[in-house]
Structure 1
Amino acid sequence: MAVDTERVAALVRELLVAIGEDPDRPGLGRTPQRVAEAYSEFFSGIGRDAAEPLSHPISVARGPEPETLSSGAVVLRDIAFRSVCEHHLLLFRGVAHIAYLPGEQVVGLGALPKVVDILASRPQVQERLGEQIADTIAHSLDARGVLVIIDARHGCVTMRGDRQPDASTLTIAARGEFTDPTARTELVALISGGRS
């Protein structure tokens, strides 16, 4: 489903009037269209299948000798994303870290950021975003465990209310073997990489 940019532009024009602005003054003349174009990008994940990027797994069990299964986790850190908080329609942005324990199949590493982007490109809350990423990977791959850690700064915290510009929110979603806190301790240390 595509964003109705004409309707968004008309509504932004009405919003400018509602806050006491003149939408025809210099500087605001193209603002409704600019906002509509931005919303088209911000909400491009609505109606898209987040599992689609994972639909072409690669077998690690079959291949050149010796045939073997992965014994450790695949970890992709620092996947940058931006999303829009559904409570105030303000941006939040941060990084997602994904780890999974493969079964017989892995997925190209470029597929994981695509999953994050699709799910982040819709009105969201961070807690649900992490859970959706974990569920998508767990259901699409034969993963024995999935761990998703998100660290993000929210416009509703940094720009309004008590305005805490340095505050970030950390969430963890775990599936399979990583639901055991002991099993994920090593991964959390790897993901944090000694960063403070």
Structure 2
Amino acid sequence: MDVKVKNRPSAPQIEIGRGPDIARPSREEAEQAVRTLIAYAGDDPDREGLRETPRRVTAAYDEFFAGYRECPFDVLSRTFDEVAGYDDIVMLRDIELHSHCEHHMIPFVGKAHVAYFPTDRVVGISKLARVVEVFARRLQTQETMTAQIAETIDKVLKPKGVAVMIEAVHQCMSIRGVRKPDVATITTQFTGIFKEDPAQQQRFMMLATERGRP
């Protein structure tokens, strides 16, 4: 089945809303595609142990890629103005993430550290973790996801600055190709005060990488 993408953004743009507007195959078509891949791998999709695999894989895809059905802007839509004079960064570190490499559709697993410097409003801290989750549950490159998280927080909350750091291990590098396990990839993105003020950027990096913390 041909899948046509409507209004695909040009390469330099970053998709930060809902997923692309495509004609999605039916569940039956998806299950048939899994059967084809099983046969391509060299096994019999009608073998007893594999009969339910297409259904299970399709159900797993609904969970793995739920981020396409969510809008990260909506996640941050409820904010609070009463901060009792608080004037410093808000940071969440060690946000666990599980995503899939868009090149091989193989998982990469790691942690995100996210901070922003509020202006006149803040968002519930769990919402920052939720933004990470929305973007992680899409086919991704780590670089793009890092930029998407930072841009979304920056656009919605309009803070003085945003800082995002992701550390992840990519199984497409661990179990295939060069086969180098436990090699971490680190990506960062900074806006506003975190980009303009080296002291604030250094402070974020220190908090994100500090070991032996409680």
Under a length normalisation based on structure 2, what TM-score does the superposition of the two structures give? 0.83
Higher mean C-alpha deviation, range 2-11 or range 75-84: 2-11
**Aligned partner of 1:36: which letter?**
T
Question: Using a 3 Å threshold, how does the CA distance of structure 1 residues 3 and 105 change in structure 2: closer, same or farther?
Answer: farther
Structure 2 match to 1:64: none
Q: Which residue of 2 aligns with 1:37?
A: 59
Write the distance in 2 (CA, Å) between the matches of 1:3 and 1:58. 41
CA–CA distance in 2 between the matches of 1:10 and 1:97? 39
Higher mean C-alpha deviation, range 146-155 or range 41-50: 41-50
Match of 1:168 among 184, 198, 203: 184
Partner of 1:187: 204
Residue-pair matches, total: 190
Identity %: 40
User: What is the Cα deviation at residue 160 of structure 1?
Assistant: 0.5
Q: Secondary structure at the match of 1:27?
A: helix
- With over 3 angstroms needed to count, the CA separation of the structure-2 counterparts of 1:6 and 1:77, relative to structure 1, is same
Match of 1:28 in 2: 50
Post-superposition CA distance 1:106-164 (Å, at most 9, x none): 10011111111111111110000010000000001031000000011111111101111
Matched, 1:145 2:167: no
Q: Given the alignment, which residue of 67, 75, 78 partners 1:53?
A: 75
1:100 equivalent in structure 2: 116
Letter in 2 for 1:118: V
* Matched position secondary structure for 2:149: helix
Structure 1: distance between partners of 2:149 and 2:67? 13
Gap regions ≥5 residues in structure 1: 62-66
SS in 2 for 1:83: strand
Question: Quick one: distance in 2 between partners of 1:8 and 1:168?
Answer: 33
CA contact (8 A) 1:3 1:39 kept: no
Q: Secondary structure at the match of 2:54?
A: helix
Distance in 1 separating the partners of 2:188 and 2:167: 9
User: In the superposition, relative to structure 1, how do residues 155 and 4 fare at CA in structure 2: closer, same or farther (>3 Å)?
Assistant: farther
What is the TM-score when the length of structure 1 is the normalising length? 0.91
* Structure 1: 4+ residue segments shifted above 6 A: none
Task: Please give the root-mean-square deviation of Cα atoms over the aligned residues, in Å.
Answer: 1.8
Match of 1:15 among 22, 37, 43: 37
Give the unaligned 5+ runs of structure 2. Answer: 1-18
